[in-house]
Structure 1
Amino acid sequence: MATLFRWLLRLASAAIFLTVIVVALVYYLASRSLPDYDKELAVDGIGAGVEIVRDNSAVPHIFAETDADAFFGLGYAHAQDRLWQMVLMRRTVQGRLSEIFGRRTLDTDLLMRRLDLYPLAVRSVAAQDPQAMAALRAYAAGVNTRIDEINAESLGRGAPEFFLFNAPVAPWQPADSIALVKLMALQLSGQFRDEILRARTSLLLPDPDRLADILPDAPGSGTAALPEYASLFPGKTMPRYAGTPHPEGPLSPVPERGFAGASNAWAAAPSRSAGGGTLLANDPHLGFTAPSTWYLARLQLAGGGVIGGTIPGVPAVMLGRSQRLAWGITSSYLDDQDLYIEELNPDNPQEYRTPDGWKRFETRRTIVEIKDEAPVTVTLRWTDNGPVLPKSRFDLEAITPPGHVVSMSWTALSGEDSSLSGALRLMRAGSVEEALEAAPLYVAPAQMLTVIDREHIGLKLVGAMPRRDAAHQSQGRLPSPGWIEANRWQGMLPDASNPVWTDPAGGIVGNTNNKIIDRPFPLHVSYDWGDSQRVMRWTQLMQGRQVHTRDSFIEAQLDTVSPAARTLLPLIGRDLWYTGEAAPAGTPERQRQRALELLANWNGEMNEHLPEPLIYAAWLRALQERLIRDELGPLADAFDHVEPLFIERVYRNVDGAGVWCDVIRSVAVESCSDISRMALDDALVWIGEQYGTALESLRWGDAHQAMHKHTVLGDIPLLRYFVNIRQSSSGGDFTLERGRTSGRDPEPFLSVHGATYRGVYDFADPDSSVFINSTGQSGHFLSRHYDDLGTLWRRGEYIPMSLDAGLARAASIGVTQLVPSAQ
């Protein structure tokens, strides 16, 4: 027995020793890719020295004698901190993910090949102006210098992920940066998903008049009545929806419905500013990832310093400020996508119907390499309207008649996309007027651009607006017959058609993705907007003060009061409050009374430390489920977020919408009060199962945790605890500090989409401006700068946004000197 014990002890010791050796080796190899911020490096491709000063938050302040050298430095800094992120995004837009991830990303690759975004980016290189081309080339040279340095000095392949997913890293090209802008356009585009859902719902609803309830228009002047979807295709057999919505595959850049972007931006003129200077606040909302989409940087250009948020892979400060101008962006919700049902020639499926007869598809074969498998060859097809999409994606099979396919028109499908030139020209602008002169260069993504100089403020929709025929059968709201001339796009509207506001009498401009204008079709901009609630709270906060300060703008950015909660609770609970006798302890009735008492004294603030937001959110979710499940069946899964306008229509019985309360499969006629009571009981049962029955001790933040998930490693057991950043957070779907919930079990209130950048700029004291990103500067999970800014972001704090070189140097954690190599 003693001998056995000794051998077991030896084996255990050997196993522990080997484990320690393996862990130490893995750590050593991974840490080799941590960048050294304090060094001197001789490089090719610069005319003079470049100095990269990292402040104490690892924000690079790049000083150079020429603009080209400054962009070289930005490319080098991006590659130091975010090379894996850059390469992954490039592979995504190229449709080459399966080369390293295998078959699980094949659907994503095939979709990207069909959209043809990377070849269009290559063609768009010729559309850039000379200054943009110089920046693109210099930036690419900076990225490639870092790649060469990694290879020459064996710096851990540049990031730990490259050890797990081994693949050569090709040199960076100017087209790669343009392609990433197109990728962002895809990530911010959701209009085609709305078309599909509208068509599916139209086919399924027993009463077609109820479509305006479940998919309501934004408040404002009415919209002309739409035809039923099936009526657009007389004589065609239309499919009926069956099954549940298909989730997108791994690493898909196409957003789920409702996640195509949301943001806030507002500006105040000197007359509305306590300091006498203009003010601007901006917080663009994107999906939470680790690292963040945004990378903070400062460049010293010939025209002065520029500082703000950049996207790794793109040589531009996309939002931020210079010494004379500040700018912010929000999603415009412009309807820049249309789907078309294309009829195939029954005698020749290689042809499709056009207004002039049958026409052959434009085709091209492409080969997708797959890790550890044989490559797949597919034939890509295009019509006059755009690329043909696979029926297996986005539930297109549910709306496509037999013998037809679906194509898509989209403004980003342009080989003359000068959007990046517009962003770079904006950086050089010195006034609101000059900034708006850059607007015609923007193609996609379409954005609301908010700009201020020291005296003026402005807001404009930038991006190409499709020219539609006034006789379009569905006004772009439903997939339409592609062979009817009136449904087809007729080019783009002139830039003068884009809405713009400058120096309004009230001294305030802003956008929360709300409806911005009410013009008749086809100059309407959009029918589907991203906000109908938050704008009410924003208006209240802006008009509640005669003058504003930097701090009042910060307060508005961090506001967590839900106008939806304040509106809906009195409606859905009006027949439940203060009715009946006290219920016995331990009964569902008593639990319901306790919940109602808490909600009766709640002001609608979605604070992470309160129980009321969780009770309210669970109640509304259960309520919408009860209202729509019997009418929509499995399609109800597609409506996984509460729509306040729908609930309000039902409980105010607008145009007979109260009929949703009656369960059509039951004999009894249920009232809306009955459904409210049953939904509250459902919510309390769910809360009890998940968080316990002590309602007063509940915390919204336990359910509403911000999940910044590593795109690739975030689902790997054990490793996910090191690479994901999970934080209790306030806010909700309808607060200015927006924390969009997942809507999916088992964690429906997990916060997955929100402000990934916040900035507030004050031209009364420019160096008092502040900004933050949602994680940190580094994409390396062993770096202390991987999540250090996330801690501040979670607490609603910011870091200084100063162009004072002395301040950056005083708090420097390292200075990188790039010097021209001796020739």
Structure 2
Amino acid sequence: MLRDYLPNLTDDVASTEIVTGATIYRDRWSIPHIYAENAHDAFFAQGYATAQDRLWQMDFDRLRCLGRAAEYLGPSAITEDSLMRRRDFETVSLADYDLCSTEAKVALDAYAEGVNAFINSNDALPYEYELLRAEPEPWEPWHCIVVYKVRNSAEGGFQSKLWRSELAAKIGPEKAAKLSPGYQQGMYLTVPPGVVYNGPAENAVDELRATVNATAPLREIDGGSNGWAVSGDLTASGIPMVGGDSHRGLEVPNVYYQIHMRTDEFDVLGHSVPGMPMVMHFAHNRHVAWGMTHGGVDTQDLFVEQLRRTNDGVEYLFKGEWLVAETSRQQLRVRGDATQTIEAIKTHHGPIISGSADDGWGIALADPGSNEATPWVDATLDAMKCKNADEFEQALSRWTDRVNNYPYADIHGDFGYALKGRIPIRSAVNGWGPVEGWTGKNEWQGYIPDDELPRSRNPEIGWAVTCNQRVVGEGYPYFLSGSFGSDYRARRIISQIEEAKTNGHLLRVEDMAAFHGDVGTVPGTKLLERLSSLSTYELPSQVSKAALDILLEWDGKLNADSVGAVVYSALNDEISLGLMERNYGIDPDEFAANPDLNAIDHLRRQLKPAFINAINQGGGQEFLAPHESVDTFLATCLTNAANHLQSTYGELGAVTWSDVHITKQVHP
């Protein structure tokens, strides 16, 4: 029985590592509340409790980041393992640990002791180990850093840069640049709150053309969240409030682990990362509360390197000189298959993630979160203990990666927003794709000073809203990104806050919860405005006419019992496929069999918002096939959507949003 593999949550546990003891109380949701006299014992208990609930997840993340997933998953994980070995998170994680303060090392050490205490004292380990005939290895303090990095530093924007380069090579740099307009006029910025973007739609034809040229030799080889803070002037309590929710991918178990810890040194409740001590995001202590959204900032650059093999190793060209690259041989153990050997190469830009010395070319990844040690662990610990907004911002001045937006508020009446993280100073050219690494023209010039990062304290408008939209306007002196998300969610939250202000309604916790539970869709509402013109268009079938009638009566909300939401979702999918086919050259049938995640991301952030904005202003034909009108395109998409719904579910209106909007979890 699987019940036999569940941990014992009630018995006392004896350990020689505990100083004075700790109590783990689990509430009705089984969220652990830890009470201890000192920080060491609290973090020991955090490690123990997290291992009780998430040991397999922690262990799997550890192996993934260390390039050892194939030891569990077999040959299917070799490609990912090869990349992770080349990125070498082990070295930087050990360096991060060495850079930690004594206090931060106590937290990491104690957490590891707690994890190992569970592993060693309990036979009821997760069932996955039984299936694999495996046992978890001891947890070392630096493993905590590893599991954080696999969820954060290991991700980033470099994949989209490779994709844009491929797209430019496929359809030409001019067209690719037009499909990456950056940010549309009239969309809200994060800073200053309430201001919209009035700069030009960004264009980088020359940069993309250079990218195509830089990567030409490589073609021969394989080559969001919501957050807001409102002033106490707008709340019933007179104290500012913070709201925030994560938009990470759906996982079971979740990417976060809720926990509460109280000691003589701190009292904090929020979200931790399984395998990592402390509380990191969506948290509050007795003095300060904070949310977090992804900053959308581009911090990872790709450098095309010229490589050559010599009798002594591998060299790379830089400013006319051949420099010695770091090299190592990595052995990948593969479950059920032979051990694989890969060569890892590193230049001063970073590890070579694609290409080889034998090819003569490679792409190096420069990344603030993995290229060198930084004191981000101490930033987390200090944030947990902060007593006011100033201390909170100061704590995160040492934060590294990911670069995040932080809405915050304290009990003293201060509230605001701050962008925090390590952002390299360099040209916007680096943001479009791989750049020449051998010329020295695209080098980083240090990092943006913390006191020059965007922030807003107690804005007069009374709120700060950050939902992955563009952070600042065109006048900001440093390059942040060319690929922010739209302002749809920010616009919706802002409208609700402003509506409350207009009506003289002071916000309460219940209102903030309602913002979280809001099911209105801004792009859906915008699309409905344009679809009304199809009422006079000659649609080809009764089912397509029925679909249009349903949409025109829809209230634009994705309620569980909504029929209109089902039709809108199907239409939205067809519009996406149609835009990708016409603009990216992607065949819909091939896409259905093998979805291109980079294309989906670009479509969501750039292409579709630009298209919806254009069609509501009388344009949009530039995104379509020659001589194809917007009405014809929308009618085709609507017909395809209606036919799909009819063939899948029968009569339109027979199913609601709750019937079709479901998840299907697959174990790795």
Q: Is the shorter-chain TM-score for this pair beyond 0.5, marking a shared fold? A: yes
Deviation at 1:387, TM superposition (A): 0.7
Partner residue, 2:163: 197
1:275: which partner in 2?
Answer: 237
How far did 1:149 drift? 0.3
Q: Unpaired segments of 5 or more residues in structure 1?
A: 1-26, 247-261, 393-399, 664-668, 713-823
Q: Structure 2 residue aligned with 1:102, among 30, 50, 74?
A: 74
Name the CA distance, whole Å, in 1 between partners of 2:624 and 2:214: 34
- How many residues get paired? 635
The 5 A counterparts of 1:122-521 are: 122-150=94-122, 155-156=123-124, 158-186=125-153, 188-189=155-156, 191-205=157-171, 208-219=173-184, 220=197, 221-222=199-200, 223=202, 225-227=204-206, 229-232=208-211, 237=216, 262-319=224-281, 320-345=283-308, 350-391=314-355, 403-454=360-411, 455-468=413-426, 470=427, 474-520=429-475
SS at match of 2:110: helix
CA distance in 2, matches of 1:322, 1:236: 49
Q: Which residue of 2 aligns with 1:673?
A: 631
Q: Give distance in 2, aligned partners of 1:631 and 1:60.
A: 50
- 1:335, CA displacement in angstroms? 0.8
- The Cα shift of 1:589 comes to 2.4
**Aligned-residue offset at 1:680:** 1.3
Give the match for residue 567 of structure 1.
526
The 5 A counterparts of 1:759-774 are none
The structure-2 alpha-carbon separation of the partners of 1:630 and 1:283, relative to structure 1 and needing over 3 Å to count, comes to closer
Highest Rg: 1 or 2?
1
Q: Which moved more, 1:213-222 or 1:409-418?
A: 213-222
Secondary structure (helix, strand or coil) at the match of 1:682 reads helix
Give, in angstroms, the shift of residue 205 of structure 1: 2.1
Alpha-carbon displacement from aligned partner over 1:695-750 (angstroms, at most 9, x marks no partner): 2223123322134x3542xxxxxxxxxxxxxxxxxxxxxxxxxxxxxxxxxxxxxx
For residues 358 and 161 of structure 2, what CA distance do their matches in structure 1 show? 16
Report if aligned partners of 1:627, 1:675 keep a CA contact under 8 Å in 2. no
CA 290–187 in structure 1, closer or farther in 2 if over 3 Å, else same: farther
The TM-score normalised by the length of structure 2 is 0.89
Q: CA deviation at 1:484?
A: 2.4
Measured on the aligned residues, the alpha-carbon RMSD in Å equals 2.7
Whether the aligned pair in 2 keeps the contact of 1:351 and 1:358 (CA below 8 Å) is yes
Q: Which moved more, 1:631-640 or 1:296-305?
A: 631-640
Seq. identity, %:
26
**CA pair 228-41 structure 1, distance change in 2 beyond 3 A:** closer
**What amino acid maps onto 2:546 in structure 1?**
R
* C-alpha distance in structure 1 between counterparts of 2:133 and 2:62, whole Å: 15
Deviation per CA, 1:480-504: give whole Å up to 9, x if none: 1112222121232221222111111
The Cα of 1:193 is off from its aligned counterpart by 2.1
Native 8 Å contact 1:432 1:452 kept in 2: yes
SS of residue paired to 2:510? helix
CA distance in 2 between counterparts of 1:236 and 1:288 reads 35
The Cα shift of 1:177 comes to 0.8
Counterpart of 1:199, as a letter, is S
Please tell me whether the aligned partners of residues 236 and 401 of structure 1 are also in contact (alpha carbons under 8 angstroms): no
Instruction: Write the deviation string for residues 363-400 of structure 1: whole angstroms up to 9, x where unpaired.
Output: 111111122333112110011211111359xxxxxxx9
| Contact 1:481–1:487 (CA under 8 A) maintained in structure 2 | yes
Q: Distance in 2 between matches of 1:43 and 1:237?
A: 60
Aligned letter for 1:373? Answer: D
1:343 and 1:403 in contact (8 A); partners too: yes
| Separation of aligned partners in 2, 1:271 and 1:414 | 44
Deviation at 1:631, TM superposition (A): 5.0
| Counterpart contact for 1:518–1:524, Cα < 8 Å | no
Output the amino acid matched with 1:695. L
TM normalised by structure 1 equals 0.73
For residue 531 of structure 1, the aligned residue among 486, 497, 518 is 486
Query: Shift in Å at residue 402 of structure 1?
Result: 7.4
Does residue 543 of the first structure (1) align with residue 504 of the second (2)?
no
Query: Following the alignment from structure 1 to structure 2, what is the Cα–Cα distance between the partners of residues 162 and 276?
Result: 52
- Measured against aligned partners, the alpha-carbon deviations of 1:443-490 in whole angstroms (never above 9, x if no partner) come to 11211122211111121111101011x4x6x24222111122221212
Tell me which residue corresponds to 1:778: none
In the superposition, relative to structure 1, how do residues 486 and 131 fare at CA in structure 2: closer, same or farther (>3 Å)? Answer: same
- Post-superposition offset of 1:72: 0.9
Assess if the C-alpha contact under 8 Å between 1:365 and 1:378 holds in 2: yes
Partner of 2:556: 604
Change (3 A) 1:603 1:214: farther
Structure 2 residue 638 is the aligned partner of structure 1 residue 702: no
Tell me how far apart the structure 2 counterparts of residues 323 and 339 of structure 1 sit (CA, whole Å). 43
Distance in 2 (CA, whole Å) between partners of 1:463 and 1:521 is 17
Deviates further, 356-365 or 542-551: 356-365
How far apart in 2 are the matches of 1:610 and 1:379?
Answer: 55
Give the match for residue 642 of structure 2.
684
Q: Which amino acid aligns with 1:321?
A: H
